[in-house]
Amino acid sequence: MSKRLIDLQHITKSFDKQTVLDDLNLYIRENEFLTLLGPSGCGKTTTLRIIGGFETPDSGNIIFDGKNITSLAPNERQLNTVFQKYALFPHMSIAENIAFGLKIKKKSKSYIDDKIKYALKLVNLDGFEKRSVDSLSGGQQQRIAIARAIVNEPKVLLLDEPLGALDLKLRQDMQYELIRLKNELGITFIYVTHDQEEALTMSDTIVVMNQGYIQQIGTPEDIYNEPTNAFVADFIGESNIIHGIMLQDRLVKVLDVTFPCVDEGFGNNVPVDVVIRPEDVELVEPGQGMLEGDVVSLIFKGVHWETEVLANGYEWLVQTTQMHPVGTHVGIRVDPFNIQIMNKPESSDEKAVESDV
Amino acid sequence: MFNLKRQLLSGPYLLWMVGFILMPVVMILYYAFTTTSGHFTLLNITSIFASIHMKSLFLSLKLALACTAICLALSYPLAMILNNMKQRSQGFIVFIFILPMWMNFMLRILAWKLLLSNNGVINMVLEAIGLPGLDVLNTPSAVVFCMVYDFLPFMILPIYNAMSRIQQDIIEAARDLGAGTATIFFKIIVPLTMPGVISGIIMVFVPALTSFAISDLLGGGKVLLIGNVIEQAFMQEYNWNLGSGLSLVLMVFVIASMALMSSKGEKGGASVW
């Protein structure tokens, strides 16, 4: 594994007596694509702004490449930011926008011209030097904002929901574009988003946050397949989160039905949260499943049918490729390895889990 | 059908424009190019070159420029301070600046006449603390002072407006790219507030150039601006032809200065209007 580039140590920040970040600890490795993911108000943008230098933490340290940069101004840090609303300078041409940082560093004219050309090529907007900012579409403006940041050769690029204002198709294209950019530049990306799909597509590491606390840090696969608590499970993709009792190792009671599972070590007769992904629920003939119920709603989603089945008092969300019309009596089956067992929240920083998304 | 009805709505305004803007301009044009007996002449226009008229025109330009420069020097820092204040107090301060505009223009000038006079409140206060009294009434300084007082809000508001429209994001982006405070001010804030500065300049310079009431009341007949000359031609000499001719010249000056400022504004990437 590559070395730690940024280390956030015991970061606390509050605005008007409201705590936004509480003793946050996080490190970011060199050349990592790290995403801070969470609902609005979870502290992800504040974390990014603290790394960028736009906010000063109330307490804690930011170590960058071995040096403490906690009190350095943004213009003294070796990183650049891509803002959500592009923040291009409206009175300058595209070339002047991109050259802004380089002119401050007093680079030669030929160096700047080369850099502008290179950056525009990198974001697929060759020949846009003379264009004005308002003649560009949102997607193009965001590419220019990225070009303006990367010509300064930062070690880290901070991206604050950069695709938030773009439409769906463009957003998906830009996701691949960003991955390509990151690989070509070989620098660290710290990315903030509330869109779990964006996070799963692009990240090496995802940090799931809620109410100022980190809920889980892991690879996209880890986060999706092994969520550590109900909040993460609910936020990353859709889930059936049901109250259950862990009877003993490998046996959990949910909705008065005993399911075999693969989890161990929770103890006997312990209340837990049971998470089952909608694509992991199988609809079978009545009598062949573990419990039975009736289809109460059916929505065609393209790739699959989103079916809701009322069984034992719980509305199961099920994604199937077969259609089961509303009113059909069906059986429900879940494979043991598709059942995720989680402890109920206990400690203070896990309480954030209970709040709704 | 719907469109026709909509167009009819502009009727009253069109009538107003024709009756109170277009007609007077046509009449001014007519009087400007004719003699009292109705013959064509250019004398009314060329009389601007008479030394007494030239003197007034230059004095007007001088005082209007001074007033504009002082307003700009006061307003720009003020708008910056205002913009950095909390949102709620911003509204209150702007309200205070606009408050005097609710009072009658003439009353405000007369109030200053009383305040500035030799036995006025200001001199009484100065005397009381042992300072020499001011003798500014009936001088160009008093006229400029009152012009600044009257026209300052027209400079502050457009600049403040332009400044408050600058997104915080843009300032942060500049800092992020390595800009220090001075660079942000000269490369970002000044260019982006230029449209406001230019409309402020026009909104102060034009009324200052054409004003006659202030110089009339505070100049004591000693400060003769081009506006006073025109007023006298109309009201005292009943020479409408001369008054119209000089008005036309003044109008050309106003339009020329506005066009000049507007073209400057467009170069900066934003138009004034």
Q: Given pLDDT bands bounded at 50, 70 and 90, which one contains residue B265? A: low
Q: What are the chain A neighbours of B183 within 8 Å (beta carbons)?
A: 104
Query: Residue B150 falls within a domain, yes or no?
Result: yes
Beta strands across the sheet bearing A205-210: A79-82, A156-160, A188-193, A33-37, A205-210, A213-218
User: Chain B within 8 Å of A18 (Cβ-Cβ)?
Assistant: no
Taking the CB of residue B34, how many other CB atoms lie within 10 A of it? Answer: 17
Contact A77, A84 (CB under 8 A): no
A301 Cβ neighbours under 8 A, 6+ residues apart:
A319
Between β-strands A59-64 and A67-68, what pairing exists: parallel, antiparallel or unpaired?
Answer: antiparallel
Residue A33 CB partners (closer than 8 Å, separation 6+): A179, A182, A188, A189, A191, A202, A203, A204, A205
**CA-based nearest distance B140→chain A, Å:** 40
- The first and second tokens of residue B272, run together, are 């004034």
Interface test with B, best of A78, A97, A100, A132 (most B CBs within 10 A): A100
Q: How confident is the model at residue A356 (pLDDT cuts 50, 70, 90)?
A: very low
- Residue B194 has a pLDDT of 92
HSE on the CB side for B102, CA within 13 Å? 5
- DSSP assignment of A21-37 equals EEEEEEEEETT-EEEEE
Summarised one tens digit per residue, pLDDT across range A20-50 is 999 999 999 999 999 999 998 899 999 999 9
- For residue B227, give how far its alpha carbon lies from the nearest alpha carbon of chain A (Å): 39
Complex confidence, ipTM? 0.80
Q: Report pLDDT digits (tens) over B98-136.
A: 888 888 888 888 888 888 887 778 888 888 888 877 777
Residue A250 above 70 pLDDT?
A: yes
Complete DSSP assignment for A294-343: EEEEEEE-SSSEEEEEEETTEEEEEEESS---TT-EEEEEE-GGG-EEEE
The span from the CA of A292 to the CA of A34, in Å, is: 42
- Interchain contact, A83 vs B173, CB within 8 Å: yes
Phi, psi dihedrals of residue B260, rounded to the nearest 5°:
-60, -50
- How close does chain B come to A207, measured CA to CA in Å? 24
* B178, B188, B191 ranked by CB distance to A101: nearest: B178
The confidence band for B268, taking pLDDT boundaries of 50, 70 and 90, is very low
Does residue B272 have a pLDDT over 60?
A: no
Distance in Å from the first CA to the final CA of chain B: 32
Chain A, window 80-119: residues with a beta carbon less than 8 angstroms from a chain B beta carbon: 80-81, 83-85, 87-91, 100-101, 104-105
Phi-psi region of A243 (alpha: psi -120 to 50; beta: other; left: phi over 0): beta
Number of domains in chain B: 1
Locus of tokens 């901070």: A158
Report, in this order, helix, strand and coil percent for chain B, each rounded to 5. 80, 0, 20
pLDDT of residue A6 exceeding 70, the answer is yes
Q: What is the average pLDDT score of chain A?
A: 90
Whether residue B273 has pLDDT greater than 60: no
Q: In this structure, what CATH number is given to the domain that contains residue B100?
A: 1.10.3720.10
In total, the C-beta contacts within 8 angstroms joining chain A to chain B are: 64
**Across the interface, do A89 and B180 touch by the CB < 8 Å criterion?**
no
pLDDT on residue A193 = 94
What Rg do the C-alpha atoms of chain B give, in angstroms?
23
In a domain, B224, yes or no: yes
Check residue B130 and give its pLDDT.
Answer: 81
Closest residue to A104, CB basis, from B178, B191, B269: B178
Instruction: Give pLDDT, residue A348.
Output: 45
B92: in domain: yes
Question: In what helix (H) or strand (E) does residue A187 lie, and over which residues does it extend?
Answer: none
Q: What confidence score (pLDDT) does residue B75 get?
A: 94
Q: Provide mean pLDDT across the span A175-203.
A: 92
- Selected for mutation to probe chain B from A89, A107, A151 (highest B CB count within 10 Å) is A89
Q: Would you state the structure tokens that stand for residue B219, as one six-digit string?
A: 């100049």
Angle at A324 between CA A323 and CA A328, to 5 degrees: 170
More confident residue, B3 or B213: B213
Burial class (CB in 10 A: 0-12, 13-18, 19+), B154: buried
With respect to residue B24, please indicate whether it lies within any of the assigned structural domains: no
Residue A319 CA to residue A4 CA, distance in Å, equals: 40
Residue B234 lies in a domain: yes
Helix axes B140-164 and B51-83, enclosed angle (nearest 10): 40
* Contacts B191 to A, Cβ<8 Å: 91
Q: Pick from A223, A219, A185: which is nearest to A31 by CA?
A: A185
| Percent with pLDDT over 70 in chain A | 96
Using alpha carbons, list the distances in angstroms from residue B15 to A3, B4, B22, B232: 78, 17, 10, 30
Q: Report the residue of A51, A56, A75 to disrupt the B interface, i.e. the one with the largest count of B CBs within 10 Å.
A: A75
| Residue B133 covered by a domain | yes
pLDDT band for position A219 (cuts 50, 70, 90): very high
Contact check, Cβ <8 Å, B268/A148: no
Predicted structure pTM score: 0.78
Residue B152, min C-alpha distance to chain A (Å): 27
- Give the residue numbers spanning the domain of B84: 49-272
pLDDT of residue B1: 55
Bigger pLDDT: A57 or A3?
A57
The shortest C-alpha distance from A76 to chain B (Å) reads 7
Q: Is the pLDDT of residue A294 over 90?
A: yes
Q: What is the pLDDT of residue A57?
A: 94
Per-residue pLDDT at A333 exceeds 90:
yes
Q: How far is B257 from chain A (nearest CA, A)?
A: 24
| Residue A355: per-residue pLDDT | 44
Q: Which of B86, B176, B193 to mutate to test the interface with A (most CBs of A within 10 A)?
A: B176
Cβ within 8 Å, pair B270-A54: no
- Inter-residue contact B174 to B183 (CB < 8 Å): yes
Residues on chain A touching B167 (C-beta within 8 angstroms) = 85, 87
Q: Which residue among A54, A84, A100 sits closest to B177, beta carbon to beta carbon?
A: A100
Q: Nearest residue on chain A to B269, judged by CA atoms?
A: A91
| Distance (Å, whole) CA A186 – CA A30 | 9
Q: Is residue B67 part of a domain?
A: yes
Angle at alpha carbon of residue B156, lines to B152 and B157, rounded to 5°: 120
**B residues 188..247 contacting A (CB < 8 A):** 188, 191-192
Angle at A273 between CA A272 and CA A278, to 5 degrees: 150
Return the HEC string of B150-193. Answer: HHHHHHHHHHHHHHHCCCHHHHHHHHHCCCCHHHHHHHHHHHHH
So what's the pLDDT on residue A152? Answer: 93
B12: in domain: no
Structure tokens at B273: 């209007």
Calculate the alpha carbon distances from A209 to A140, A236, A352, B97 in Å: 30, 11, 9, 46
Start-end of H helices in A192-328: 196-202, 220-225, 230-235
Nearest chain A alpha carbon to B172: A54
Please provide the DSSP assignment of B119-139 as one string. Answer: TSHHHHHHHHTTPPPP--TTS
CB contact under 8 A, A149 and B268: no
State residue B271's pLDDT score.
39
Name the more confident of B62 and B46.
B62
